[in-house]
Structure 1
Amino acid sequence: MEKINLKFKTNLNCQNCVKAVTEPLNGCVGEGNWQVDTNHEDRVLHVFGDQKVTKEQVVDAVRDAGFEIEPLE
């Protein structure tokens, strides 16, 4: 199975923000298959692993939780 490696610019700037997207992201990509660098200027969300997920699904999960997100190329 092909591994995914997606990165997104977000406005998740603290642990409470990360906590707010934890359930939606775990449901979308699975627990342990994502991380957020809140110290990076772009607050980068990194999604990785073996699961089949599209950029659009990740974007929808984060936006539905009330946060901004855009794919990084």
Structure 2
Amino acid sequence: MEALKFKTNIKCGNCIATVTPFLNEAVGEGNWQVDTQDPKKILTVETSTVELVKQAIEKAGYKAELLN
């Protein structure tokens, strides 16, 4: 499994609390983290499925764009 990085609009602790159940279900607890200090609000996920992550984020009401 590789670490994928996404630019998101997840800005704060409350945002993280909102996406937590969606990401935990999609990729598993402990397999993701959001750097809210980074201007791009980078979500790092240990998975090989880009679409699964994007769907989970969108289901929670946020956006995620894969970074190259």
2:20 counterpart SS class: helix
1:34-58: CA deviation from partner (whole Å, max 9, x where unpaired): 000001000000002xx5x410110
Q: Which has the larger radius of gyration?
A: 1
Residue number in structure 2 paired with 1:41: 39
Structure 1 gap ranges (5+): none
Output the amino acid matched with 1:66: G
State the TM-score, normalized to the length of structure 1: 0.88
Structure 2 gap ranges (5+): none
Percent identity for Structure 1 against Structure 2:
49
Counterpart CA distance in 2 for 1:54 and 1:5 is: 10
Structure 1 runs (4+) deviating above 2 angstroms are: none
Structure 2 residue 64 is matched with structure 1 residue 72 = no
